[in-house]
Amino acid sequence: MNLEKAKKIASRALLILSVLALIVMIGTVLVTSLYTVPISDDYWYARTGIGAKGLWHRFIVAVQFSYEIYVHHQGTYFTSFIGSLFNPLIHGGFPKLRVVMFINAVMAFASILSFVYVALGKLKVKSATARVFILAAATFVITGFDAFQEIFYWFVGACVYGFPMSLGMFAVTLLLLANGRENSTKPFCVLSAILGFCAVGASLAITGTVCWLVLSIVVFYAVKDKKLDKKNIWVFLACFGGALINAAAPGNFIRLDLESGESFTLVDGIINTWGYFIYALKWLFLNKNYGCVFLALIITGFVIFGRSRTTAAAKDEQPHDDAQAPEESKRFTRAYAILSAMLLFTPFVTVFPVLMGYGVGWMPNRCFYILIVVMDIALGNLALAVGALLSDLLKEKAQKPVLIALAAVLLALFVTTPYNIREYIFLKMDKQLYLGEFQENYDKTKAMIDSFADMEGEDVELDVPTHPEEIRNFYCFYLTEDPTSNFNKDIAKAYGLKSIVNTRKED
């Protein structure tokens, strides 16, 4: 067997393994999402819509609820609207909840992977194996390190964070596609602007992230093409305009006064943002095994971009080094360097609005998901760039020994890391699915809620969990001990009960 044939076999094997990994990782989340049950703020978002008949009535109720949230709680003009309009507690019940949560999971992965795929095309990564492997690596970070229950297994979390983040990533992807076309760019830009405007009407974490990613694309093409493209500017203005509407909400200032126990200055915000960024880096590289992912992507960049130059040289094409590259290639390199730097700054833009806007020094799981997604993209891009730079700096004779050394270090890291395959969250969840944990919780919760139909107007006592984390990697139905709390009142109202209380004591 000659060397080239061996390389083809290895490449095909890696492609197949990457595809299988994608199926397992994404499939785990999709299947588990089908067992989501109503919890927590799902009932709050349904409060004003209980009893609404017909689509038009529910639409009016959703507009009213969105206005109430905007004025009294936060500027999430889009997500509070869809959180009411599509709330399964108002209409549709458990079947609708399954459909909504499944679509949320599909959109989450489709938006991230389509962005990565299109971005790789812009970098002229032609190898199908390399593209699919990079997609698998990006997916592993999202599914292997945390279950992100507040995104995938909580209706309101999906509405306020999952859906808008997906729409934001689709908006950025469409903007990239629009800049790669000579004709018919208007539909891409219009749809990008609409999706971007909707996306920024969400949590401030998403608002800042989407605006910054769109701005990064605008700057990239402005440097690359030596001009500001009007279509790019219009998309950015749509996103920025929505962000201003969000930020100006009276509810943001009311919430800031309620949640911030003490004055939270600009300096505090910057310090806490930096601290949270360092925490996320430690979480990825020390608590998890992102070091393996990062090094694997460096090797990928080293191989694919080194091979591109070798192929170009074999065809007597212009080499890519600065000394001989045409002006257009230099501009692309300069623009890409600026873009990469802006991507590395994205985590700060994600965290800072949350800490400052809500006056708190911490981020919940749902915001942490947004942070990990953008770090996944930024650090992944950095790793590919480092690999490409290494292959460019090294002479051809030195490339093979360096590649072997990198592979050896990767193998050593993979074998010695405490965060081994037994710790991967999607595999733990596969075991839970196999044992029927999620299915059993779903059946019991559904049977309990269905039984409320025979208890209308009654005082109901239940022995149920007092917090949603009763099941690992998931959220379950829970109640408080206080029947007069707004939380218990919302649940009682949803099912026509006089009151509802939990008899189980707090752990």
- Cβ contact 30:105 at 8 Å: yes
Tell me: the pLDDT tens digits for 50-68?
888 888 999 999 999 999 9
Contact (Cβ atoms closer than 8 angstroms) between residue 232 and residue 218: yes
Question: Which residues 6+ apart lie within 8 Å of 313 measured at CB?
Answer: 319
Q: At what angle do helices 204-225 and 163-178 cross, to 10 degrees?
A: 10
pLDDT (average), residues 163-183: 91
Helices (H) and strands (E) in the chain, counts: 21, 2
pLDDT at 374 over 50: yes
What is the pLDDT at residue 257? 63
Residue 47: the pLDDT is 85
Q: Look over the chain and give the mean of its residue pLDDT values, rounded to a whole number.
A: 89
Identify whether the C-beta of residue 91 lies closer than 8 Å to the C-beta of residue 53: no
| DSSP code at position 161 | I
For residue 314, name the pLDDT band (cuts at 50, 70, 90).
Answer: very low
**For residue 361, what pLDDT is reported?**
62
pLDDT at 506: 67
pLDDT at 263: 54
CB 201 within 8 A of CB 75: yes
Helix, strand or coil for residue 502? strand
pLDDT at 317 over 50: no
Identify the band that residue 233 occupies on the pLDDT scale cut at 50, 70 and 90. Answer: very high
Rounded CA-CA distance 503/125 in Å is 59
Look at residue 262 in the predicted model and tell me its pLDDT: 53
- Name the token pair of 91: 């209409």
How far apart (Å, rounded) are the C-alpha atoms in residues 155 and 45? 10
Cβ burial of 404 (10 Å; 0-12, 13-18, 19+) is exposed
Residue 458's contacts (CB-CB under 8 Å, 6 or more residues apart) are 497, 498
Q: Are 280 and 375 in contact (CB under 8 A)?
A: yes
pLDDT at position 315 is 47
CB count within 10 Å of CB 451 equals 11
* Per-residue pLDDT tens over the stretch 249-264: 888 777 766 655 555 6
Contact 475, 149 (CB under 8 A): yes
The model carries a pTM of 0.92
- List of residues 6+ apart from 490 with CB closer than 8 A: 43, 44, 46, 47
320 or 171, higher pLDDT: 171
The H or E element containing residue 281 is helix 266-282
Q: Which of 210-214, 380-384, 490-494 has the lowest mean pLDDT?
A: 490-494
State which amino acid sits at residue 72: H
Task: Name the token pair of 147.
Answer: 């279950």
Count of Cβ atoms closer than 10 Å to residue 433 Cβ: 16
Cα gap 178→184, rounded to integer Å: 8
Share in percent of the chain as helix, strand, coil (round to 5):
75, 0, 25
Tokens 């007069």 belong to which residue? Answer: 484
Backbone angles phi, psi at 40, to 5 degrees: 45, -125
For 328-356, how does the pLDDT look when each residue is reduced to its tens digit (9 = 90+)?
788 888 999 999 999 999 999 999 888 77
Q: What is the predicted pLDDT for the residue at 264?
A: 63
pLDDT (average), residues 172-179: 94
Q: Is the pLDDT of residue 283 over 60?
A: yes
* Tens-digit pLDDT profile for residues 67-78: 999 998 888 999
The answer to whether the CB of 372 falls within 8 A of the CB of 273 is no
Write the DSSP string, 3-71: HHHHHHHHHHHHHHHHHHHHHHHHHHHHHHHTT----THHHHHHGGGTT--SHHHHHHHHHHHHHHHHH
pLDDT bin (cut points 50, 70, 90) of residue 291 is: very high
Beta bridge partners of 460: 500
Which single residue is written with the structure tokens 């192929």?
311
Task: Please name which of 193, 237, 192, 212 lies closest in space to residue 353, comparing C-alpha atoms.
Answer: 212
Of 8-12, 208-212, 477-481, highest mean pLDDT: 208-212
pLDDT above 70: percentage of residues in the chain: 92
**Mean pLDDT, residues 452-464 taken together:** 89
User: How much is the pLDDT for 2?
Assistant: 72
Q: What is the pLDDT of residue 267?
A: 82
Beta-bridged to residue 502, according to DSSP, are 462
Per-residue pLDDT tens for 392-449? 888 888 888 999 999 999 999 999 999 999 999 999 999 999 999 999 999 999 999 9
pLDDT above 50 (res 41): yes
